[in-house]
Structure 1
Amino acid sequence: MADRLDQPRTRGRSLLPRMQVEADASGRVSESIARFLGTPRFIVWLTVFCVVWLAWNAWGPVELRFDKSANGFTALTLMLSLQASYAAPLILLAQSRQADRDRVAAEQDRQRAERNLADTEFLAREMASLRIALSEVATRDFVRSELRNLLEDLQAEQADDEDGAPGARPSPDGTRRGAVER
């Protein structure tokens, strides 16, 4: 029977045990290394390493020198090239992880801005509806003027009552009736 092409092949047993590594562990390690490579402390330590290497191989005991100055310090050049060849991909990996984090943060900021805009629009609509509702509510000046008009009407009625029979008021036909009508 032919193997299924839509399924990955199962690997057979190997002589070496397989390492179980967390999916993001290599990314975290590469970021920590890349952060260290970008510090002044790393530059100072690398400079000290190179100065000690050059000093030992230039002025150290001849029988203990391991990188001849006559050869142009080939071993030091190889060491620095090896360090650079490992540093470049680690820095690129750290940059791509940072770009992913920045993309997520930008998306969250965009969503937060949309929510703030929606909240602001809702509050603006509520303020507009409150203004409309308040324009229909009686204001203090309106109530005072109405009370003043009622007071004037009452005073006018009292003056009319003093002129005529007590408790009587004129009817539309000009005759006086009692104060209490039902």
Structure 2
Amino acid sequence: MSVTTIPLRPVSKGGLWLLWFGLAGLIAVAIAFAIHSTPRIGFEVVKEGTGASPTKADVVLVKYEGKLDNGTVFDANEQAPMQVAQVVPGFSDALTRMQKGGKYKIVIPPQLGYGDRETGPIPAGSTLHFDVELLDFKTEAEVRAMQQMMQQQQQMQQQGGPGGPAGPGGPVGPPPGAPQP
């Protein structure tokens, strides 16, 4: 068996430019496809808030109403505390874009909500519509400090410290029949 070799002609400079333009065009199309195929939330500012926005580590206090595409309300709350990182991804993303005192309309596609899981009154594959008002938020450090203070107060009450149960001779005086000091 014999092998025949064929010499290749060098590519002209004009041909190289065409190859580079073609490659750049393919990359641009791939990026555009990736951007448009990634699900995104709908986010509308109804009333501007003020100050910083919460992070995923923070705890927020929100007033909200959640509806399905057909207008059915599936959940509502006047003052709901929520850990930003522990809600569905679309709601978490929206919370990190809000400011205290602001009101927002959010549309969460199924991929960023509950996906193809049925959750309570929410059918699988549902787009979620929310009206949300960010009432307040606390950083993770502030929440930890508040929890520590509450634990200390509970311990003091159990041990009879300030604000705790009165012991003998406490603020109400000595028990009846006890000698007076």
TM-score range (shorter-chain normalised) is under 0.3
When normalised by structure 1's length, the TM-score is 0.25
Q: Which has the higher helix share?
A: 1
Larger Rg: 1
- The answer to which structure, 1 or 2, has the higher relative contact order (CA under 8 A, 6+ apart) is 2
When normalised by structure 2's length, the TM-score is 0.25
